[in-house]
Structure 1
Amino acid sequence: MEYINQFYGVVLALLASVLWSLNPPIIKKFGYGISSIALNAMRAFMAMLFLVIIVIVYGFNVVFTPMGLLFILGSALIGPGIGDIMYIKSIRAVGAGRAITIGYTYVFVAQALAVVFLGEKITVGLVIGSFLALCGIYFVYLEGNDLEVSYRNLLMALIPAIAWGIGSVVNKYALFYADPISLGFIRAIVLSLVLLPFSSREIKKGVKSRRIVLVALVTGGLGYGIGIPLFLKAVDIVGVSVTVLATTLTPVLGRILSVVIAKEKIDLKGIIGTSLVILGIVIGVQ
């Protein structure tokens, strides 16, 4: 029974990874002409429309306590809020393939925080994996194409990794107070309400564009509305470490789709860098 649950959790995480791998190339190719904050607000709103139907069917299960609300709000604002806004910015600044490769080093941030807050142990694999991933980021930084990557843009691409890593641990605590679907629904509502005052003018412009609406629908409705609850359910079933290991499929597919959809170029340094990051992540979460 335990093996079946483990397998089920990994499958859910892999499905989330497939959905998330679509986001960077689609945002890069079609998400121009609107601010990162406004686009993220629209994505959250689309997710809310998806999830409200699911919540009506399966119910809304949340335990409202001061500590629970703190973790739930943190779950909404840190990862999907700060992390995804900076992710969109980094996609536009350094390219979809680079952004997804660098961003997915969040696994190590999550692992380090898990040592402190969840009692997990530092392993030799984590140290080796971290070193390989950092080497990979440097190769990706050196990759030569039409986008010049400054140190500022490189740091921008690392912010999502930090935010997602923190958010992964916060998610674990938030799941003590809400089921994955209800938590995903609250996150979408909170994110929409928080971002709206900062981007109302841009949102009005965005809703007039069929292209932007479709981008928000695919990356928000599918990525947020379906992908995040799948991820949260996986965390709930198999824990943080196994779940983040499964999501390493995202940078692999994302890098490929960035070439296919966004027509980005990748040279030998990019291939080596991406491979080192993925290898480092796999070794690090063993």
Structure 2
Amino acid sequence: MITGIVLALISAVCWGIGGIVFKIGLKGESELSGNLIRSIFSVLFLLPFVFAFGMQPLNAELAALIVLSTIFSFFIGDILYFNALKNSPVSYALPLASTYPVFVAILDLVVYGYPITLNVLLASLLTISAIIAIPKETGKFTVKSFTAVLAALSWSVSIVTLDYLTDYLSPVTLAFLRLSLNSVLLFGFVRRIPLSRNLLIFMGFAGGLISVAGILSFVTSVSLIGSNLVTPLSATSPVIGSIAGKIFLKEKIGIRHAIALILVFLSVITISQPPVMITPATDG
């Protein structure tokens, strides 16, 4: 349980820092090109893990689910998210994208019959409150910012498939296959490999490292404690990313940051407690 919680929080740190890195890397570049370079570098960074740990075999059902998971996660979801980052401040786009725990809870109930617990509900509310408490950077909020919500909905479909896929495939196998497939899909649209300095540094090298660390942490935590518990914790990424930025830049942490951090801590404590049922489990 504790290991799964820690890994979920590590993924939140990666997504929080990643939002800033991706926004820099996408400056003057298309979402498709940025996603392609990020995916290619991520695959390269995963190769040593593949050689070290190997990969599990696939059957038709697992292969179909991997295709579905890839399309809704790295392809549709990430393109929508990158679009939101390009067209609005990170402090708006990232919180809106972090609404996916709500969709995951509903889908988990429908698909797997997971009960909605008071723990998950309270943790989700605490996470949303923490996101609202974080000070917003200056910048224009646009209607295009709401593509981040569509990204969250798309991600939630993919996340729900992980509960099943992690029963048969390792996090390394899942990450490598999904990112490799995403690279192929994106190359089919872009038809070239963009090599601008900005893309290579921020979307490629930095973005690839952040993505691999975040994805492996997230998928491993799902395999340990389930998506219904992981998502409220990983969705704290705007808060943790903001706090990490303040620490690394040696800036003063204000009262709103402190309140947000306390709310995140309470969210973690809430998830860690024995579940209190709201809805009964179904036979889904």
Answering whether residue 59 of structure 2 is matched by residue 65 of structure 1, we say yes
Distance in 2, Cα, partners of 1:238 & 1:109: 18
Answering whether residue 224 of structure 2 is matched by residue 237 of structure 1, we say yes
Aligned CA distance change for structure 1 residues 136 and 252 (closer, same or farther; 3 Å): closer
Give 3-state SS (helix, strand or coil) of 1:122's partner. coil
Instruction: Using the TM superposition, give the Cα deviation of residue 27 of structure 1 relative to its aligned residue in structure 2, in angstroms.
Output: 1.9
**Are the counterparts in 1 of residues 69 and 161 from structure 2 also a CA contact under 8 Å?**
yes
Aligned to 2:281: none
**Are the counterparts in 1 of residues 101 and 156 from structure 2 also a CA contact under 8 Å?**
yes
Answering whether residue 139 of structure 2 is matched by residue 146 of structure 1, we say yes
Aligned to 1:36: 31
Give 3-state SS (helix, strand or coil) of 2:191's partner. helix
**Paired AA for residue 21 in structure 2:** I
Answering whether residue 93 of structure 2 is matched by residue 99 of structure 1, we say yes
Distance in 2, Cα, partners of 1:48 & 1:186: 9
**Are the counterparts in 2 of residues 132 and 279 from structure 1 also a CA contact under 8 Å?**
no
Q: TM-score, length-normalised on structure 2? A: 0.79
**Paired AA for residue 72 in structure 1:** I
**Are the counterparts in 2 of residues 78 and 164 from structure 1 also a CA contact under 8 Å?**
yes
Matched residues, percent identical?
25
Aligned to 2:45: 50
Distance in 1, Cα, partners of 2:124 & 2:17: 26
Aligned CA distance change for structure 1 residues 181 and 14 (closer, same or farther; 3 Å): same
Distance in 2, Cα, partners of 1:93 & 1:259: 23
- 5+ residue gaps, structure 1: 1-5
**Paired AA for residue 146 in structure 1:** G
| Deviates most, 231-240 or 120-129 | 120-129
Give 3-state SS (helix, strand or coil) of 2:24's partner. helix
Give 3-state SS (helix, strand or coil) of 1:196's partner. helix
**Are the counterparts in 2 of residues 36 and 88 from structure 1 also a CA contact under 8 Å?**
yes
1:179-198 counterparts in 2 under 5 A? 179-198=170-189
Aligned CA distance change for structure 1 residues 170 and 56 (closer, same or farther; 3 Å): same
Distance in 1, Cα, partners of 2:244 & 2:24: 11
